[in-house]
Amino acid sequence: MLDAEDVDAARPDEKSIITYVSLYYHHFAKQKTELTGARRVANIVGKLITSDTMEDDYEHIASDLLKWIYETIKLLENRRFPNSLHGMREELGNFNQFRTVEKPPKYKEKGELEALFFTIQTKRKAMGRKQYAPPQGLFMYDVESAWEKLDRAENDRQVAIIAELQRQERLEQLAQRFHKKANLRESWLRNVQAVLEEMDHGRTAAEVEKSLKKQQAIANDILAREDRFKLLTSMCADLCNERYHESDKIRARERDIIERYVS
């Protein structure tokens, strides 16, 4: 410190004053340098913390996105479809819901993840650090590869749904044809049964002969319609073989008609 006696005089000690001012200057210059250095260190540390936080965010987002992708692929590869036209139409609706509602936000998330990865690398380069290497399996090419598999699984499911939907439509049309023909066969059987029940075998030779001719005509008609009943059986077999959802009812109706026909 500067002594009061050195300056409280007609001619102060200039050497003492210069020494004091010099020490004062160096003291505060040192403080300023230390403060600037501290700020620089704080800035670098802040950037490192920000970079590490971004890397943690990247790894969590990438991990969650990959988990969703592979779980979705597993669902898309499932081929246990509903065994009905109504069920398949609902399945198609659910698939379209996935494509238009569920998947787009995930695609956007993938784009944001790629931008985050680029930002991390840019910041590391600016700080003179080596390139960021995520944990094994979390690189962007892992995400892109998984997304390509998702696209293929989605396309394959679309093809499978359309094929099954068309199959169910064909079976439904075949079932409608079966029931239409079954109605005709049942109507014919009822008419034949009614004719046979009302038939009078006659008392005279002429009446008996007339009755026999009528019976023969009915027998000929029965034989002539054999192919139509065989067609009904064939349609029933096709529906059962294709696992039509009401095949049990179809089979029961076909058996009832055929038993009445052959008896």
- The answer, yes or no, to whether residue 211 has pLDDT greater than 70, is no
Lowest mean pLDDT among 12-16, 64-68, 69-73, 231-235: 12-16
**Boundaries of every domain in the chain:** 16-168, 172-262
Question: How large a percentage of the chain has pLDDT more than 90?
Answer: 63
Mean of per-residue pLDDT scores for the chain: 85
The contacts of residue 247 (CB under 8 Å, 6+ apart) are 239, 240
CATH number of 172-262: 1.20.58.60
CATH number of 16-168: 1.20.58.60
Q: How far apart are CA 45 and CA 37, in angstroms?
A: 12
- The answer, yes or no, to whether residue 204 has pLDDT greater than 90, is no
Question: How large a percentage of the chain has pLDDT more than 70?
Answer: 74
Q: Do the first three CATH levels of 16-168 and 172-262 match, i.e. the same topology?
A: yes
Has this prediction a pTM greater than 0.75?
no
The contacts of residue 88 (CB under 8 Å, 6+ apart) are 81, 82, 161, 164, 165, 168
